[in-house]
Structure 1
Amino acid sequence: MKAVFKRLMNLVTMATAFAGVSTAALAAEPGFNNWQLGFQASTSDVMDDITWFNNFTLIIITVITVFVLALLMYCAVKFSAKNNPVPSRTSHNTTIEIVWTVVPILILVIIAIPSFRLLYKQLEIPEYDMTVKAIGYQWYWGYEYTDENMGELYFDSIMVQDADRQEIADARGVSIDEVPRLLAVDYDLVIPVDTTVRLQVTSEDVIHAFAMPTWGVKIDAIPGRLNETWFHAREEGVYYGQCSELCGKDHAFMPIAVRVVSADQFQQWASAAQDDLDVANEQLMASIAQAKKLAAQGELNEISVAAK
Structure 2
Amino acid sequence: MKMSKGRLSRRMLGFAVGAGMMIAAGAAFAGMGQPTPWEYTLQHSASPVMDSVNWVHNFLLWIISSITIFVMILLVVVMVKFNAKANPVPSKTTHNTLIEVIWTIVPVLILVAIAVPSFRLLFEQLDIPKSDLTIKVTGKQWYWTYSYPDHGKFEFDSLMATDKQPRLLAVDNEIVVPVNKVVRVQVTGADVIHSFAVPSFGIKIDAIPGRLNETWFKATKEGMFYGQCSELCGKDHAFMPIAVRVVSDQEFATWVEGAKKKFASAPANSFASLETAAR
TM-score > 0.5 by shorter chain: yes
Deviation at residue 27 of structure 1 after TM alignment: 3.1
* One-letter amino acid matched to 1:31: T
User: Which residue among 220, 223, 227 is the counterpart of 1:234?
Assistant: 220
Correspondence for 1:28 among 26, 30, 33: 33
Alignment partner, residue 271 of structure 1: 257
Q: Residue in 2 aligned with 1:103?
A: 106
The yes-or-no answer on 1:205 pairing with 2:184 is: no
Per-residue deviation, residues 245-302 of structure 1 (Å, max 9, x unmatched): 0111111000000111110011111112111259xxxxxxxxxxxxxxxxxxxxxxxx
Equivalents in 2 of 1:28, 1:254: separation in Å? 16
Alignment partner of 1:50 is 2:36: no
For residues 42 and 273 of structure 1, the distance between their equivalents in structure 2, rounded to whole angstroms, comes to 28
Normalising by structure 1, what TM-score? 0.74
CA distance, structure 2, for counterparts of residue 132 and residue 98 of structure 1: 53
Q: Note the C-alpha offset of 1:146.
A: 1.2
1:222-301 equivalent positions in 2, closer than 5 A: 222-277=208-263
Using the alignment, how far apart are the partners of 1:135 and 1:277 within structure 2? 16
Corresponding residue of 1:155: 156
In structure 1, what residue type is equivalent to 2:134?
T
Q: How does 1:62-141 map to 2 (within 5 A)?
A: 62-141=65-144
- DSSP 3-state at the match of 1:31: coil
Residue from 59, 62, 68 that aligns with 1:59: 62
Between the aligned partners of 2:258 and 2:190, the Cα distance in structure 1 is 28
The number of residues matched between the two structures is 234
In the alignment, the residues of structure 1 paired with residue 224 and residue 135 of structure 2 have an alpha-carbon distance, to the nearest angstrom, of: 17
- Give secondary structure in 2 for the equivalent of 1:67: helix
> Are the equivalent residues in 2 in contact too, given 1:30–1:241 (CA < 8 A)?
no
Distance (whole Å) between structure 1 residues aligned to residue 32 and residue 109 of structure 2: 39
Counterpart CA distance in 2 for 1:98 and 1:152 is 62
Consecutive aligned runs of 4 or more in structure 1 exceeding 4 Å deviation: none
Instruction: Give the Cα separation in 1 of the matches to 2:33 and 2:202.
Output: 13
Measure, in 1, the Cα distance between the counterparts of 2:32 and 2:114: 31
CA distance in 1, matches of 2:102, 2:204: 38
Does the alignment pair 1:220 with 2:206? yes
Equivalent AA in structure 2 for residue 121 of structure 1: E
- CA offset at residue 31 of structure 1? 3.0
| TM-score (structure 2 length as normaliser) | 0.82
Contact 2:45 2:200 in 1 (8 A): yes
- Does the 8 Å CA contact 1:197/1:232 hold for their aligned counterparts? yes
Identity of aligned residues (%): 59
CA contact (8 A) 2:155 2:263 kept: no
Q: Assess if the C-alpha contact under 8 Å between 1:239 and 1:258 holds in 2.
A: yes
In the alignment, structure 1 residue 193 sits paired with structure 2 residue 170: no
Structure 2 CA distance for aligned equivalents of residues 240 and 45 of structure 1: 17
Q: String of CA shifts for 1:97-118, please: whole Å, max 9, x gaps.
A: 1110100000000111111111
Give the conservation status (yes or no) of the 8 Å contact 2:53–2:202: yes
Task: Return 5+ residue gaps in structure 2 as ranges.
Answer: 1-30, 265-279
| CA–CA distance in structure 1, aligned partners of residues 192 and 198 of structure 2 | 20
Q: In structure 2, what is the Cα distance between the partners aligned to 1:203 and 1:187?
A: 19
2: CA distance between counterparts of 1:31 and 1:217? Answer: 19
After superposition, the CA RMSD in angstroms is 1.3
Letter in 2 for 1:245: E
